[in-house]
Amino acid sequence: MRSLKIEVKAGDIADWRDEAVVVNLFKGVKRPGGATGAVDKATGGAISKLIESGDFQGKFKEVSVLPAAGESPAKRVMIVGLGEREKFKLDRIREVSGKVALHAREIGLKSFSTIVHGAGIGGLDLHEATEAMAEGALLTLYRYTRYKTSDEGKKDPDVMTMVTTEKARVGVMQRAVESGAVIASAGNMVRDLVNMPSNDKPPQKLAEFASKVAKDSGFKCKVLDERLMADMGMGGVLAVGKGSEEPPRFLVLEYKGARRGKPIVLVGKGITFDTGGISLKPQEGPLGPIWEMRHDMAGMATVLATISAAARLKLPLDIIALAPLAENMPSGRAQRPGDVLKMYGGKTVEVLSTDAEGRLILADALVFAEKLKPQAIVDVATLTGTAVYALGKRVTPVMGNDSKLVRRLVKAGLDTGERVWELPMFDEYAEQIKSDLADLKNTGGKSAGCITAGMFLRQFVGATPWAHLDIAGTVWVHGGPESIDKTYMPKGPSGIPARLLIRMLRDWGKSA
């Protein structure tokens, strides 16, 4: 699908010729100033009259379109509301930019030109505001059409032009547009992979896709097959994958941006479809209908998209992404409830539920990560239905053994609108995963299930700073009052938390 082209040009928006020019207004403003005031003057006070009549109040994401009049050469003037000034942050820029792009699609615009929301009277940094506008528009216009045989819906606009009165700002803004496009493409890569049906993304095909992304983006990709995993003793990945006709794989992705020091390791769960195995899932579960279990590889998609973006942004860090890939199916070869597995590194696990499989493949990956002697490990997984019961579908639970790392993730979540909240990891929770038969059991029951799953993972990490993100509730936008409600996150896969991780990595040199 064709992507929106974003340009940056110098000029006066009041004298700009396009199908529409876009300006903004905070809630409660009675007399427009700045660029909005200039356009108001050029149109003979059309915006002021709209305000005076009460037909436009500047409410958040409110949009009005007027035919241009007076001296304005544009065909239309679009005014978008920024809401209350004290609530205006970067994430509101993404939403406002997305709302404008969506409205441009709805009214059939091929192009439109806009000022940068928030960089003037809003007082936000120009680069950050421009980048957020690019992200918001590109994320909002996302549609997955790979399996459509006919062109449905209204056409996206072709071009969005950001207009600045200062030529010296063009370079800064252009670089921000480029980085914003990389970040948005990471979120949309996650969406693409999650949307893809499971018959088209078994472990081997996903590994091939990752290899292509690595080649295109400039990082290394190594694929471990089942024979090599068996030689290494990866009992978790092999046990989960052995019930399927599709053999498991293990991805080792490596980007060298610092070329010195210790790497940061990202680990992503890659269950390409989750039936629950012998512990078969119901048709409707806490995470949604079973057909949505194609999203169980969203962790893998996230770490792939993140390391790809890091390479394209040329971040000055060494990053390694690990992704165990398996399909969890019931068959005569599948693991059984009650089996005992020997994991990579030697720990033994009693399998009480084959539907608690994500933590088994992640355990092998975390031991692998620990052996790399990294400065930090972050894992991402659609791990537990109880994550939804704990925090709903708007916020991602985070747990970890290092408060500084957790703070980094919390801050990145606030900056990107992909919010996370820390859950406790008190030692007492570990009692729930002790086994009478083995070192551990793979489920601690329904009580505090999200936390005990995190405690299980913690047993496979040593002293390395580590954090775990359970995206089971936030991976998919269902709509309605319980779901994430953002313009740039339409129904379907959210893309969470790729932008969060990219932000964390970009801010790595700053104090947490």
Q: What digits encode the pLDDT tens for the residues 177-230? A: 999 999 999 999 999 999 999 999 999 999 999 999 999 999 999 999 999 999
What residue has token string 């009650």? Answer: 338
pLDDT band for 152, please (50, 70, 90 cuts).
Answer: confident
Answer yes or no: are the C-beta atoms of 451 and 427 closer than 8 Å. Answer: no
Q: From CA 94, how far away is CA 117, in angstroms rounded?
A: 9
pLDDT band for 122, please (50, 70, 90 cuts).
Answer: confident
pLDDT band for 320, please (50, 70, 90 cuts).
Answer: very high
Query: How large is the C-alpha radius of gyration of the chain?
Result: 24
For residue 29, pLDDT beyond 70: yes
pLDDT at 469: 99
For residue 268, pLDDT beyond 80: yes
Mean pLDDT of 5-34: 96
Cα dihedral 507, 250, 189, 93 in deg (nearest 10): -20
Mean pLDDT of 382-386: 96
For residue 39, pLDDT beyond 70: yes
What residue has token string 């319980």? Answer: 482
For residue 69, pLDDT beyond 90: no
Q: From CA 413, how far away is CA 423, in angstroms rounded?
A: 15
What residues are annotated to the active site? 281, 359
Backbone dihedral region of 384: left (phi > 0), alpha (psi from -120 to 50 degrees) or beta? beta
pLDDT at 285: 73
Q: Nearest Cα to 266, choosing from 182, 175, 186, 353?
A: 186
For residue 450, pLDDT beyond 60: yes
Average pLDDT, the chain: 96
Mean pLDDT of 149-157: 87
Q: Which residue has the higher pLDDT, 69 or 408?
A: 408
Give Cα 36 to chain centroid, integer Å. Answer: 33
Query: Is 185-506 in CATH node 1.10.620.20?
Result: no
Cβ atoms within 10 Å, residue 53: 8
Q: Which of 114-123, 165-174, 273-282, 402-411 bottoms out in mean pLDDT, i.e. has the lowest?
A: 114-123
Mean pLDDT of 316-322: 98
Spatial neighbors of 21 by CB under 8 A, at least 6 apart, are 13, 39, 68, 72, 74, 76, 77, 78, 112, 113, 114, 163
For residue 111, pLDDT beyond 80: yes
pLDDT at 316: 96
Q: Which helix (H) or strand (E) holds 272?
A: strand 270-274
Mean pLDDT of 93-119: 97
Mean pLDDT of 314-333: 98
pLDDT at 286: 67
For residue 153, pLDDT beyond 90: no
For residue 260, pLDDT beyond 80: no
pLDDT band for 418, please (50, 70, 90 cuts).
Answer: very high
Mean pLDDT of 439-467: 97
For residue 1, pLDDT beyond 70: no
Query: Is 5-164 in CATH node 3.40.220.10?
Result: yes
Task: Map out the domains of the chain as residue ranges.
Answer: 5-164, 185-506
pLDDT band for 121, please (50, 70, 90 cuts).
Answer: confident
Coil vs helix vs strand at 206 = helix
- Burial class of residue 3, CB neighbours in 10 A (0-12, 13-18, 19+): middle
pLDDT band for 2, please (50, 70, 90 cuts).
Answer: low
pLDDT at 59: 98
